[in-house]
Amino acid sequence: MYRLTDQQKEVVRIASEVADGVIARYAAEVDLNARFPSEAVAALGETGLLGLTVPSEYGGMGQGMSAAAAVLDQVAQRDASTAMIYLMHLCGMACYTANPAVTEVHLRAAAAGKHLSTLAWSERGSRSHFWSPVSKAVQNGSGVLLSAEKSWVTSAGHADGYVVSTLAANAASPTETALYLVLKQDSGLTVDGPWESLGMRGNASAPMKLHEVSLADERAICVPGKGFDFMLGVVLHWFQTGNAAVSIGICEAAIQATTTHLTGQGFQHLGSRLSDLPNLRARLAKMRIETDKARAHLAKTVEAAEAGDASAMLMVLESKASAADTALEVTDLAMKACGGAAFSKHLSVERTFRDARALSVMAPTSDVLHEFIGRALCGMELF
Ligand SMILES: Cc1cc2nc3c(=O)[nH]c(=O)nc-3n(C[C@H](O)[C@H](O)[C@H](O)COP(=O)(O)OP(=O)(O)OC[C@H]3O[C@@H](n4cnc5c(N)ncnc54)[C@H](O)[C@@H]3O)c2cc1C
Protein backbone atom coordinates (compact mmCIF):
# COMPACT_ATOMS: atom_id res chain seq x y z
CA MET A 1 0.00 0.00 0.00
CA TYR A 2 2.91 2.39 0.59
CA ARG A 3 3.60 2.74 -3.15
CA LEU A 4 7.34 2.18 -2.83
CA THR A 5 10.02 2.28 -5.50
CA ASP A 6 12.08 -0.87 -6.11
CA GLN A 7 14.90 0.63 -4.06
CA GLN A 8 12.53 1.32 -1.16
CA LYS A 9 11.10 -2.19 -1.40
CA GLU A 10 14.62 -3.51 -1.02
CA VAL A 11 15.06 -1.41 2.15
CA VAL A 12 11.80 -2.79 3.53
CA ARG A 13 12.93 -6.33 2.66
CA ILE A 14 16.12 -5.78 4.70
CA ALA A 15 14.05 -4.39 7.59
CA SER A 16 11.76 -7.38 7.42
CA GLU A 17 14.75 -9.74 7.55
CA VAL A 18 16.15 -7.94 10.61
CA ALA A 19 12.71 -8.00 12.19
CA ASP A 20 12.29 -11.75 11.63
CA GLY A 21 15.89 -12.66 12.40
CA VAL A 22 16.60 -10.57 15.49
CA ILE A 23 13.74 -8.34 16.66
CA ALA A 24 11.07 -11.07 16.82
CA ARG A 25 13.44 -13.44 18.64
CA TYR A 26 13.73 -11.19 21.70
CA ALA A 27 10.31 -9.52 21.70
CA ALA A 28 8.50 -11.72 24.24
CA GLU A 29 11.45 -11.80 26.63
CA VAL A 30 12.01 -8.03 26.33
CA ASP A 31 8.35 -7.53 27.25
CA LEU A 32 8.46 -10.02 30.12
CA ASN A 33 11.56 -8.50 31.70
CA ALA A 34 10.80 -4.88 30.69
CA ARG A 35 14.31 -4.55 29.38
CA PHE A 36 15.72 -2.40 26.58
CA PRO A 37 16.01 -4.39 23.31
CA SER A 38 19.73 -3.74 22.78
CA GLU A 39 20.08 -6.61 20.28
CA ALA A 40 17.31 -5.17 18.12
CA VAL A 41 18.77 -1.65 18.16
CA ALA A 42 22.25 -3.04 17.36
CA ALA A 43 20.77 -4.95 14.41
CA LEU A 44 19.07 -1.79 13.12
CA GLY A 45 22.46 -0.09 13.38
CA GLU A 46 24.44 -2.87 11.69
CA THR A 47 22.11 -2.92 8.68
CA GLY A 48 22.26 0.87 8.24
CA LEU A 49 18.62 1.31 9.26
CA LEU A 50 19.45 3.86 11.98
CA GLY A 51 20.48 5.97 8.98
CA LEU A 52 17.26 5.26 7.02
CA THR A 53 16.29 8.93 6.79
CA VAL A 54 19.76 10.49 7.11
CA PRO A 55 20.61 12.31 3.86
CA SER A 56 22.99 10.35 1.63
CA GLU A 57 25.59 13.15 1.82
CA TYR A 58 26.07 12.17 5.49
CA GLY A 59 26.21 8.46 4.73
CA GLY A 60 22.53 7.61 5.22
CA MET A 61 19.89 6.06 2.98
CA GLY A 62 18.15 9.38 2.39
CA GLN A 63 14.66 7.92 2.60
CA GLY A 64 11.46 9.84 3.34
CA MET A 65 8.23 9.22 5.19
CA SER A 66 6.84 6.47 2.93
CA ALA A 67 9.83 4.20 3.43
CA ALA A 68 9.95 5.09 7.13
CA ALA A 69 6.27 4.18 7.54
CA ALA A 70 6.74 0.86 5.73
CA VAL A 71 9.82 -0.02 7.83
CA LEU A 72 8.17 1.00 11.13
CA ASP A 73 5.13 -1.08 10.18
CA GLN A 74 7.40 -4.12 9.67
CA VAL A 75 9.29 -3.60 12.93
CA ALA A 76 6.09 -3.06 14.95
CA GLN A 77 4.68 -6.34 13.60
CA ARG A 78 7.45 -8.10 15.55
CA ASP A 79 8.00 -5.77 18.52
CA ALA A 80 6.20 -2.51 19.25
CA SER A 81 8.77 -1.45 21.87
CA THR A 82 11.58 -1.58 19.32
CA ALA A 83 9.39 0.21 16.79
CA MET A 84 8.75 3.06 19.26
CA ILE A 85 12.47 3.39 20.01
CA TYR A 86 13.10 3.50 16.28
CA LEU A 87 10.34 6.06 15.69
CA MET A 88 11.72 8.44 18.32
CA HIS A 89 15.17 8.01 16.75
CA LEU A 90 13.78 8.95 13.32
CA CYS A 91 12.16 12.04 14.89
CA GLY A 92 15.57 12.91 16.34
CA MET A 93 17.08 12.47 12.87
CA ALA A 94 14.53 14.92 11.44
CA CYS A 95 15.75 17.50 13.97
CA TYR A 96 19.42 16.80 13.25
CA THR A 97 18.91 16.95 9.48
CA ALA A 98 17.37 20.41 9.77
CA ASN A 99 20.59 21.70 11.33
CA PRO A 100 23.61 19.74 10.07
CA ALA A 101 25.99 22.54 11.12
CA VAL A 102 25.38 21.39 14.72
CA THR A 103 24.71 17.71 14.14
CA GLU A 104 26.71 16.44 11.15
CA VAL A 105 28.99 14.25 13.25
CA HIS A 106 25.96 12.61 14.88
CA LEU A 107 24.13 12.15 11.57
CA ARG A 108 27.19 10.33 10.26
CA ALA A 109 27.41 8.27 13.45
CA ALA A 110 23.73 7.31 13.16
CA ALA A 111 24.24 6.26 9.54
CA ALA A 112 27.13 4.10 10.74
CA GLY A 113 24.85 2.55 13.39
CA LYS A 114 26.63 4.24 16.28
CA HIS A 115 24.21 6.91 17.45
CA LEU A 116 20.67 6.53 18.80
CA SER A 117 18.53 9.63 19.22
CA THR A 118 15.26 10.54 20.91
CA LEU A 119 13.07 13.49 21.92
CA ALA A 120 12.80 14.74 25.51
CA TRP A 121 9.79 17.04 25.23
CA SER A 122 7.06 16.08 27.70
CA GLU A 123 7.46 17.72 31.11
CA ARG A 124 5.88 17.03 34.47
CA GLY A 125 4.52 20.60 34.56
CA SER A 126 2.79 20.68 31.17
CA ARG A 127 2.19 16.93 30.78
CA SER A 128 1.00 16.00 27.27
CA HIS A 129 1.06 19.67 26.14
CA PHE A 130 4.63 19.33 24.90
CA TRP A 131 4.40 22.57 22.95
CA SER A 132 4.45 24.52 26.24
CA PRO A 133 7.42 23.41 28.37
CA VAL A 134 7.55 24.98 31.81
CA SER A 135 11.34 24.72 32.12
CA LYS A 136 13.29 27.74 30.92
CA ALA A 137 16.85 28.03 29.64
CA VAL A 138 19.09 30.40 31.57
CA GLN A 139 21.59 32.44 29.56
CA ASN A 140 25.09 31.79 30.84
CA GLY A 141 27.68 33.81 28.93
CA SER A 142 27.99 32.32 25.46
CA GLY A 143 25.81 29.36 26.37
CA VAL A 144 22.79 28.23 28.36
CA LEU A 145 22.04 26.24 31.49
CA LEU A 146 19.17 23.76 31.17
CA SER A 147 17.22 22.43 34.13
CA ALA A 148 14.04 20.45 33.52
CA GLU A 149 11.92 17.55 34.69
CA LYS A 150 11.13 15.47 31.63
CA SER A 151 8.29 13.07 32.37
CA TRP A 152 8.78 10.49 29.63
CA VAL A 153 11.79 9.97 27.39
CA THR A 154 11.86 6.88 25.19
CA SER A 155 15.31 5.20 25.29
CA ALA A 156 16.12 7.15 28.47
CA GLY A 157 19.72 6.41 29.42
CA HIS A 158 20.25 4.35 26.27
CA ALA A 159 20.09 7.07 23.62
CA ASP A 160 23.24 8.95 22.68
CA GLY A 161 21.48 12.19 21.74
CA TYR A 162 18.40 13.90 23.27
CA VAL A 163 16.55 16.74 21.53
CA VAL A 164 15.42 18.65 24.62
CA SER A 165 12.69 21.30 24.57
CA THR A 166 12.58 24.24 26.96
CA LEU A 167 11.38 27.82 27.01
CA ALA A 168 13.95 30.10 25.37
CA ALA A 169 15.99 32.16 27.82
CA ASN A 170 14.23 35.36 26.73
CA ALA A 171 10.78 33.81 26.20
CA ALA A 172 7.84 36.07 26.94
CA SER A 173 5.06 33.62 26.00
CA PRO A 174 4.45 29.87 26.65
CA THR A 175 5.31 28.71 23.14
CA GLU A 176 8.56 30.66 22.64
CA THR A 177 10.49 27.47 22.95
CA ALA A 178 14.00 26.35 22.13
CA LEU A 179 15.38 22.93 21.23
CA TYR A 180 18.88 21.87 22.26
CA LEU A 181 20.92 18.79 21.54
CA VAL A 182 21.98 17.22 24.82
CA LEU A 183 24.42 14.32 24.62
CA LYS A 184 24.41 11.30 26.90
CA GLN A 185 27.78 12.28 28.38
CA ASP A 186 26.76 15.88 29.22
CA SER A 187 27.02 16.45 32.91
CA GLY A 188 23.69 17.00 34.73
CA LEU A 189 21.52 14.64 32.65
CA THR A 190 20.15 11.66 34.60
CA VAL A 191 17.43 9.04 34.33
CA ASP A 192 15.00 9.87 37.12
CA GLY A 193 13.20 6.61 37.81
CA PRO A 194 12.40 3.22 36.37
CA TRP A 195 10.15 2.41 33.41
CA GLU A 196 7.40 0.16 34.72
CA SER A 197 4.54 0.11 32.27
CA LEU A 198 1.52 -1.83 31.08
CA GLY A 199 2.73 -1.98 27.49
CA MET A 200 5.73 -0.94 25.41
CA ARG A 201 7.64 -2.42 28.29
CA GLY A 202 10.96 -2.55 26.43
CA ASN A 203 11.28 1.04 25.37
CA ALA A 204 12.67 2.61 28.56
CA SER A 205 10.38 5.65 28.37
CA ALA A 206 11.49 6.75 31.82
CA PRO A 207 11.53 10.25 33.33
CA MET A 208 14.77 12.23 33.03
CA LYS A 209 16.11 15.15 34.97
CA LEU A 210 18.34 17.93 33.66
CA HIS A 211 20.17 19.83 36.36
CA GLU A 212 22.08 22.89 35.12
CA VAL A 213 23.24 21.11 31.99
CA SER A 214 25.70 23.57 30.49
CA LEU A 215 25.57 23.89 26.70
CA ALA A 216 27.23 26.20 24.19
CA ASP A 217 24.77 28.28 22.16
CA GLU A 218 25.83 26.18 19.13
CA ARG A 219 23.89 23.22 20.55
CA ALA A 220 20.64 24.97 19.64
CA ILE A 221 18.82 22.86 17.05
CA CYS A 222 16.72 25.83 15.90
CA VAL A 223 16.62 29.56 16.54
CA PRO A 224 15.80 29.92 20.26
CA GLY A 225 12.20 31.12 20.58
CA LYS A 226 11.19 29.39 17.32
CA GLY A 227 10.98 25.86 18.75
CA PHE A 228 7.19 25.72 18.45
CA ASP A 229 7.31 26.34 14.67
CA PHE A 230 10.09 23.78 14.39
CA MET A 231 8.11 21.15 16.32
CA LEU A 232 5.10 21.60 14.08
CA GLY A 233 6.91 22.25 10.82
CA VAL A 234 9.82 19.80 10.99
CA VAL A 235 8.99 17.01 13.44
CA LEU A 236 5.21 16.63 13.74
CA HIS A 237 4.62 14.89 10.40
CA TRP A 238 7.38 12.35 11.07
CA PHE A 239 6.01 11.59 14.53
CA GLN A 240 2.37 11.43 13.47
CA THR A 241 2.84 9.20 10.43
CA GLY A 242 5.44 7.03 12.17
CA ASN A 243 3.17 6.62 15.19
CA ALA A 244 0.35 5.59 12.84
CA ALA A 245 2.67 3.03 11.22
CA VAL A 246 3.47 1.55 14.63
CA SER A 247 -0.27 1.25 15.38
CA ILE A 248 -0.82 -0.50 12.07
CA GLY A 249 2.09 -2.89 12.66
CA ILE A 250 0.53 -3.81 16.02
CA CYS A 251 -2.81 -4.46 14.27
CA GLU A 252 -1.09 -6.69 11.73
CA ALA A 253 0.60 -8.66 14.52
CA ALA A 254 -2.79 -9.13 16.19
CA ILE A 255 -4.32 -10.36 12.93
CA GLN A 256 -1.50 -12.83 12.35
CA ALA A 257 -1.67 -14.21 15.89
CA THR A 258 -5.48 -14.47 15.76
CA THR A 259 -5.45 -16.22 12.38
CA THR A 260 -2.88 -18.75 13.60
CA HIS A 261 -4.93 -19.44 16.71
CA LEU A 262 -8.31 -19.72 14.98
CA THR A 263 -7.04 -22.00 12.22
CA GLY A 264 -4.75 -24.07 14.44
CA GLN A 265 -6.96 -24.79 17.46
CA GLY A 266 -10.37 -26.40 17.72
CA PHE A 267 -12.96 -28.47 19.55
CA GLN A 268 -11.80 -32.08 19.51
CA HIS A 269 -15.17 -33.39 20.66
CA LEU A 270 -16.91 -31.70 17.71
CA GLY A 271 -14.15 -32.30 15.17
CA SER A 272 -14.15 -28.58 14.29
CA ARG A 273 -11.70 -25.69 14.34
CA LEU A 274 -12.26 -22.33 16.00
CA SER A 275 -12.32 -20.84 12.50
CA ASP A 276 -15.46 -22.88 11.79
CA LEU A 277 -17.35 -20.44 14.03
CA PRO A 278 -18.75 -17.63 11.83
CA ASN A 279 -18.69 -15.03 14.62
CA LEU A 280 -14.94 -15.52 15.10
CA ARG A 281 -14.33 -15.29 11.36
CA ALA A 282 -16.39 -12.09 11.30
CA ARG A 283 -14.20 -10.60 14.05
CA LEU A 284 -11.12 -11.48 12.05
CA ALA A 285 -12.66 -9.92 8.95
CA LYS A 286 -13.42 -6.71 10.85
CA MET A 287 -9.82 -6.62 12.08
CA ARG A 288 -8.56 -6.96 8.50
CA ILE A 289 -10.92 -4.28 7.16
CA GLU A 290 -10.05 -1.72 9.85
CA THR A 291 -6.30 -2.36 9.49
CA ASP A 292 -6.43 -2.03 5.71
CA LYS A 293 -8.41 1.21 6.05
CA ALA A 294 -5.84 2.67 8.47
CA ARG A 295 -2.91 1.59 6.29
CA ALA A 296 -4.56 3.01 3.15
CA HIS A 297 -5.13 6.31 4.95
CA LEU A 298 -1.52 6.39 6.10
CA ALA A 299 -0.19 5.58 2.62
CA LYS A 300 -2.24 8.44 1.17
CA THR A 301 -1.08 10.75 3.96
CA VAL A 302 2.64 10.14 3.45
CA GLU A 303 2.20 10.48 -0.29
CA ALA A 304 0.41 13.82 0.16
CA ALA A 305 2.95 15.04 2.73
CA GLU A 306 5.93 14.10 0.55
CA ALA A 307 4.31 15.84 -2.42
CA GLY A 308 3.73 19.00 -0.32
CA ASP A 309 -0.03 18.72 -0.96
CA ALA A 310 -2.16 21.40 0.75
CA SER A 311 -4.45 18.75 2.27
CA ALA A 312 -1.53 16.96 3.89
CA MET A 313 -1.57 18.71 7.29
CA LEU A 314 -5.12 17.65 8.11
CA MET A 315 -4.38 14.10 7.01
CA VAL A 316 -1.19 14.08 9.09
CA LEU A 317 -3.28 15.02 12.15
CA GLU A 318 -5.90 12.39 11.26
CA SER A 319 -3.41 9.59 10.62
CA LYS A 320 -2.19 9.12 14.20
CA ALA A 321 -5.65 9.50 15.78
CA SER A 322 -7.27 7.16 13.30
CA ALA A 323 -4.58 4.45 13.46
CA ALA A 324 -4.40 4.63 17.27
CA ASP A 325 -8.18 4.13 17.50
CA THR A 326 -7.87 1.26 15.04
CA ALA A 327 -5.15 -0.38 17.13
CA LEU A 328 -7.39 -0.20 20.22
CA GLU A 329 -10.32 -1.72 18.32
CA VAL A 330 -8.37 -4.40 16.46
CA THR A 331 -6.46 -5.66 19.50
CA ASP A 332 -9.71 -5.69 21.48
CA LEU A 333 -11.32 -7.81 18.74
CA ALA A 334 -8.28 -10.12 18.81
CA MET A 335 -8.74 -10.62 22.56
CA LYS A 336 -12.41 -11.47 22.03
CA ALA A 337 -11.80 -13.74 19.05
CA CYS A 338 -9.12 -15.77 20.83
CA GLY A 339 -11.04 -16.08 24.10
CA GLY A 340 -9.30 -17.23 27.29
CA ALA A 341 -6.22 -18.23 25.29
CA ALA A 342 -5.62 -14.55 24.51
CA PHE A 343 -5.61 -13.75 28.20
CA SER A 344 -2.59 -16.00 28.67
CA LYS A 345 0.92 -15.11 27.58
CA HIS A 346 1.26 -18.17 25.37
CA LEU A 347 -0.29 -16.14 22.56
CA SER A 348 1.22 -12.75 21.71
CA VAL A 349 -2.28 -11.25 21.49
CA GLU A 350 -2.27 -9.87 25.03
CA ARG A 351 1.05 -8.09 24.31
CA THR A 352 -0.43 -6.38 21.25
CA PHE A 353 -3.44 -5.38 23.38
CA ARG A 354 -1.18 -3.78 26.04
CA ASP A 355 1.20 -2.16 23.55
CA ALA A 356 -1.70 -0.65 21.59
CA ARG A 357 -2.85 1.35 24.65
CA ALA A 358 0.24 3.62 24.40
CA LEU A 359 -0.32 5.09 20.96
CA SER A 360 -3.43 7.14 21.70
CA VAL A 361 -1.93 8.70 24.84
CA MET A 362 1.32 9.74 23.22
CA ALA A 363 1.19 13.45 22.56
CA PRO A 364 -0.55 14.90 20.72
CA THR A 365 -3.06 12.52 22.29
CA SER A 366 -6.13 11.33 20.39
CA ASP A 367 -8.30 13.70 22.45
CA VAL A 368 -6.15 16.65 21.47
CA LEU A 369 -5.97 15.57 17.82
CA HIS A 370 -9.76 15.34 17.63
CA GLU A 371 -9.93 18.84 19.08
CA PHE A 372 -7.33 20.14 16.56
CA ILE A 373 -9.09 18.51 13.61
CA GLY A 374 -12.48 19.82 14.75
CA ARG A 375 -11.09 23.32 15.17
CA ALA A 376 -9.43 23.18 11.76
CA LEU A 377 -12.71 22.09 10.15
CA CYS A 378 -14.51 24.99 11.82
CA GLY A 379 -11.91 27.47 10.59
CA MET A 380 -10.61 28.12 14.12
CA GLU A 381 -6.99 28.60 15.27
CA LEU A 382 -5.49 25.36 16.67
CA PHE A 383 -3.65 27.06 19.57
C1 LIG B 1 5.15 4.61 25.67
C2 LIG B 1 5.33 6.09 25.76
C3 LIG B 1 6.48 6.67 25.24
C4 LIG B 1 6.67 8.05 25.32
N5 LIG B 1 7.82 8.59 24.81
C6 LIG B 1 8.02 9.93 24.89
C7 LIG B 1 9.24 10.52 24.38
O8 LIG B 1 10.12 9.82 23.86
N9 LIG B 1 9.40 11.85 24.51
C10 LIG B 1 8.45 12.65 25.06
O11 LIG B 1 8.66 13.85 25.11
N12 LIG B 1 7.30 12.14 25.54
C13 LIG B 1 7.07 10.80 25.47
N14 LIG B 1 5.90 10.25 25.97
C15 LIG B 1 4.94 11.13 26.62
C16 LIG B 1 3.69 11.36 25.79
O17 LIG B 1 3.98 12.03 24.58
C18 LIG B 1 2.66 12.17 26.59
O19 LIG B 1 3.21 13.38 26.99
C20 LIG B 1 2.18 11.43 27.81
O21 LIG B 1 1.75 10.14 27.43
C22 LIG B 1 1.04 12.20 28.43
O23 LIG B 1 0.63 11.54 29.62
P24 LIG B 1 -0.01 12.42 30.81
O25 LIG B 1 -0.43 11.47 31.87
O26 LIG B 1 0.95 13.48 31.19
O27 LIG B 1 -1.27 13.01 30.05
P28 LIG B 1 -2.18 14.25 30.48
O29 LIG B 1 -1.72 15.47 29.79
O30 LIG B 1 -2.31 14.29 31.95
O31 LIG B 1 -3.58 13.84 29.83
C32 LIG B 1 -4.58 13.08 30.54
C33 LIG B 1 -5.79 12.91 29.65
O34 LIG B 1 -6.31 14.22 29.33
C35 LIG B 1 -6.47 14.35 27.93
N36 LIG B 1 -6.22 15.75 27.55
C37 LIG B 1 -5.09 16.48 27.80
N38 LIG B 1 -5.22 17.70 27.27
C39 LIG B 1 -6.42 17.76 26.67
C40 LIG B 1 -7.12 18.76 25.94
N41 LIG B 1 -6.59 19.97 25.73
N42 LIG B 1 -8.35 18.46 25.46
C43 LIG B 1 -8.90 17.24 25.69
N44 LIG B 1 -8.29 16.25 26.38
C45 LIG B 1 -7.06 16.51 26.85
C46 LIG B 1 -5.46 13.39 27.32
O47 LIG B 1 -5.86 12.99 26.04
C48 LIG B 1 -5.45 12.24 28.32
O49 LIG B 1 -6.47 11.33 27.99
C50 LIG B 1 5.69 8.86 25.92
C51 LIG B 1 4.52 8.28 26.43
C52 LIG B 1 4.34 6.91 26.36
C53 LIG B 1 3.08 6.32 26.92
State whether the beta carbon of 180 lies less than 6 angstroms from ligand 1: no
Ligand 1 atom closest to the Cα of residue 361 is 21
Mutate to test the pocket of ligand 1, among 30, 128, 380 (most ligand atoms within 8 A of CB): 128
pLDDT, residue 364, reads 98
Over residues 8-32, the mean pLDDT reads: 97
Render pLDDT for 298-333 as a digit per residue (tens, 0 to 9). 999 999 999 999 889 999 999 999 999 999 999 999
Cα 363 to middle of ligand 1, angstroms: 5
Q: Among 110-119, 121-130, 206-215, 303-312, whose mean pLDDT is lowest?
A: 303-312
State whether the beta carbon of 93 lies less than 6 angstroms from ligand 1: no
**Which residue puts its alpha carbon closest to atom 31 of ligand 1?**
128
pLDDT, residue 19, reads 97
- 196: pLDDT strictly greater than 90: yes
Per-residue pLDDT band for 150 (boundaries 50, 70, 90) equals: very high
Cα 269 to middle of ligand 1, angstroms: 49
Buried b (16+ CB within 10 A) or exposed e, 228-248: bebbeebbbbbbbbbbbbbbb
**Which residue puts its alpha carbon closest to atom 35 of ligand 1?**
367
pLDDT, residue 310, reads 87
By C-alpha distance, which of 241, 248, 250 is closest to 317? 241
* 6-115 CATH fold: Butyryl-Coa Dehydrogenase, subunit A; domain 1 (1.10.540)
Q: pTM higher than 0.75, yes or no? A: yes
Cα 361 to middle of ligand 1, angstroms: 5
State whether the beta carbon of 181 lies less than 6 angstroms from ligand 1: no
pLDDT, residue 209, reads 98
pLDDT, residue 383, reads 84
State whether the beta carbon of 358 lies less than 6 angstroms from ligand 1: yes
pLDDT, residue 340, reads 96
State whether the beta carbon of 88 lies less than 6 angstroms from ligand 1: yes
**Which residue puts its alpha carbon closest to atom 51 of ligand 1?**
362
Over residues 170-176, the mean pLDDT reads: 95
* 228-377 CATH fold: Butyryl-CoA Dehydrogenase, subunit A; domain 3 (1.20.140)
Over residues 8-22, the mean pLDDT reads: 97
Cα 362 to middle of ligand 1, angstroms: 5
Over residues 180-188, the mean pLDDT reads: 98
State whether the beta carbon of 205 lies less than 6 angstroms from ligand 1: yes
pLDDT, residue 189, reads 98
Type and span of the H or E element at 17:
helix 6-18
State whether the beta carbon of 240 lies less than 6 angstroms from ligand 1: no
DSSP per-residue string spanning 46-70: HTTGGGTTS-GGGTS----HHHHHH
Is 228-377 the same fold as 119-225? no
Render pLDDT for 251-269 as a digit per residue (tens, 0 to 9). 999 999 999 999 999 999 9
Cα 338 to middle of ligand 1, angstroms: 30
DSSP per-residue string spanning 89-142: HHHHHHHHHH-HHHHHHHHHHHHTT---EEEE--BTTTBT-TTS---B-EEETT
**Which residue puts its alpha carbon closest to atom 39 of ligand 1?**
368
CA-to-CA distance for 55 and 58, rounded, in angstroms? 6
pLDDT, residue 109, reads 98
State whether the beta carbon of 383 lies less than 6 angstroms from ligand 1: no
Per-residue pLDDT band for 382 (boundaries 50, 70, 90) equals: confident
Cα 125 to middle of ligand 1, angstroms: 12
Type and span of the H or E element at 243:
helix 236-264
State whether the beta carbon of 152 lies less than 6 angstroms from ligand 1: yes
Domain-by-domain residue ranges, the chain?
Answer: 6-115, 119-225, 228-377
Mean pLDDT score across all residues of the chain: 97
**Which residue puts its alpha carbon closest to atom 16 of ligand 1?**
362
CA-to-CA distance for 342 and 184, rounded, in angstroms? 40
Cα 123 to middle of ligand 1, angstroms: 10
State whether the beta carbon of 368 lies less than 6 angstroms from ligand 1: yes
pLDDT, residue 311, reads 85
Q: Choose which CATH entry (3.60.150.10, 2.40.110.10, 3.20.180.10, 3.30.530.20) describes domain 119-225.
A: 2.40.110.10
CA-to-CA distance for 87 and 149, rounded, in angstroms? 22
* Longest CA–CA separation in the chain, Å: 80
